[in-house]
Structures are given as C-alpha cells and as structure tokens.
Amino acid sequence: MLAIRIHETGGPELLRVDDIPVPEPGPGELRFRVEAAGVNFIDTYQRSGLYPLALPAALGQEGAGVVTAVGPGVMNFSVGERVATAKASGAYAVETLAPVAQVVKVPAAIDARTAAAVLLQGLTAHYLAGDTFPLKAGDTALIHAGAGGVGLLLIQMARRRGARVIATVGSEAKAVLAREAGADAVCVYTQEEFPAAVRSFTGGCGVDVAYDSVGRDTFSGTLECLRPRGMFVSYGNSSGPVPPFAPLLLMQRGSLFFTRPTLANYVESPAELQRRTGELFRWIKSGELKVRVGAVFPLRAAAEAHRALEGRATTGKVILLPVDG
C-alpha cells in the first residue's frame, strides 16, 4: 500500500512515497482505511528531527476512516465502523494502525474530513481552554496564530466560556477569520507590534493567559503581554523552540506561571478521551463549533502540504486525502 515516510530528517523534500505491506493489528490495536488524514505541526517537527523518531518512519498521527481489522482482545470495535484517532502509527497512508484506547467512534453526522480536522487540534483547544488555564467569564486571553487550526477552535471555546480574546494573525484576510470565530480584537502582527496591541486592549493591565503555539519568535513579546501572576501556555514551536531562559525571568516579569503542556497528558485514559471528543462532536453537530478545513491535498502531495503549513500559507486545518492509493 502507499504510505508517506521519511528515511532521514530534514526538509519537506525528504518525504517519500513508499509502497509498504498493509500492517496487521496487534493486541489492543485496530487497523482502519484512511479516508482523511490531518496535517499538524507535530508532523513537521518529526520530519525535521526536532522530535526524533526511529527511521524509517511513517508520518501522521491524526486520521479518520473505516475499520478494516481488529487485533486480538479488541471487543469494542468492529470491522466497518467509522473511527478517528490522534494516535495513529502513520496516518499518511492508505491504511494505518492505532491503539483502541486512543480511538473514538465517529457519529454519522460527522464526515471523515471534519473528524480528521478536529481530533488533534480540537482536543488541544479543549484542554487548553478548559484545563491548562480554565477560562471563565471575565478572563482575558491572548491567542497567537488565531487563524490556524487550533487558533480558530480555541477562540470559539474561549468565547464559549465567557472570556475576552485578542488574537494575532499575519494578514488582513486571516484577521477576518479570527473575528468571525469570535475574537474581540485582532492584531495583524505584520502591521503592528502585538505587545502594544495587547496593552491597548487591556488598558495596560495585560492578559490573564497567553496561548502561544509559535515559540521562538513570540516568546519575548508574549512575556510583555501578561498581567502579574498571569500564565504563559507554550504549546507549539512553529517558528522554532522557545530559547532557554532562567526562572528568575518569570519573577522579574511579575511572578508569572509558565507551562509546556502536551495532548497526551490530557487524554491519558479512554474515559477522558471519550469525554472530550464527545463534547467536540456535540458542539459540531449543534453548530456551536465551526471547523474550518482550509486546504486539501492528495496524499502524494504531502510535501506540498508541509511547505504550505510551515510557510504560514494556510488557515484552519490542512487535510490529506489518500484517494490515489
């Protein structure tokens, strides 16, 4: 079967179209035919070597499709059921494996593209807004990359919880999307320094929490945006990792909190995963949560998808369709 793999780390040009055997599920695993695969920054981190993998490695953790086989001991999933996961072992493929503890069933009202678009990024936004810093009415949040996949979902969830939001984006077109998602204010960082925009928005007080998926390029400015005892939530590295810093800096900036969460620690049990995805799917079905698929590429064009994502040329979710396999 067709699968996109890396044999060495580096740029998008190293993504290879390989023909590999269809994998067999082991105990506690299932196999599904991929109808849509989500493209995420973590895939680019693995490809570049920032997050090391044993090589050769199949890329893609997020996908939705139809179960084609179940491994020994699997009782709660059957061949033919529609499923999705953010823990696939190579979703850039015609078929892939996933541990059943990290797989959810997809309701009939949710299509495969939407399911693949909302699993990883939707779960991320869900825990950021509800657990890492539990937003409430009256809170003020800064959300970087407000027109990205997580950003658009996080804005909606923050507003749903009653928080005020200022988002940063790279263009006027992206600013429109952030406003449509519910942002109270938007800073186009190519036209205005975002710390100044935040100070204006908050009357000089600073935000209660800053959600930063950009990393290196926004780190210093984001520190300027927080109120005393505010929280810096660093959950991505799209511009590169945050540089090393002394904890004393947090004291000097106003006894700040700094955290670097990851999704795995917020879906450690099947029950927690089911609770979170259940809420996401309910919100989508009711129209409370809008999922934007901003770009769709065929599986063989995975390198092009990576270039678009890393070049900040996309909005919402980037999807691969393995229809040419």
Provide the pLDDT confidence category of residue 313 given band limits of 50, 70 and 90: confident
Q: What is the pTM (predicted TM-score) of this model?
A: 0.92
Strand pairing report for 2-6 and 103-105? unpaired
Cβ of 312: how many Cβ atoms within 10 Å?
17
Instruction: Enumerate the CATH 3.90.180.10 domain ranges in the chain, comma separated.
Output: 2-119+267-321
Does residue 325 register a pLDDT over 50? no
pLDDT digits (tens, 9 = 90+) for 266-296: 999 999 999 999 999 999 999 999 999 999 9
pLDDT tens string 11-48: 999 999 999 999 999 999 999 999 999 999 999 999 99
Torsions phi, psi of 119, nearest 5? Answer: -65, -70
How far is Cα 236 from Cα 143, in angstroms, rounded to an integer?
A: 12
**210-269 tens-digit pLDDT:** 999 999 999 999 999 999 999 999 999 888 889 999 999 999 999 999 999 999 999 999
d(CA 303, CA 43): 11
Residues 2-119+267-321, CATH architecture:
Alpha-Beta Complex (3.90)
What average pLDDT does the chain have? Answer: 95
CATH of domain 137-260: 3.40.50.720
Residue 197: the pLDDT is 97
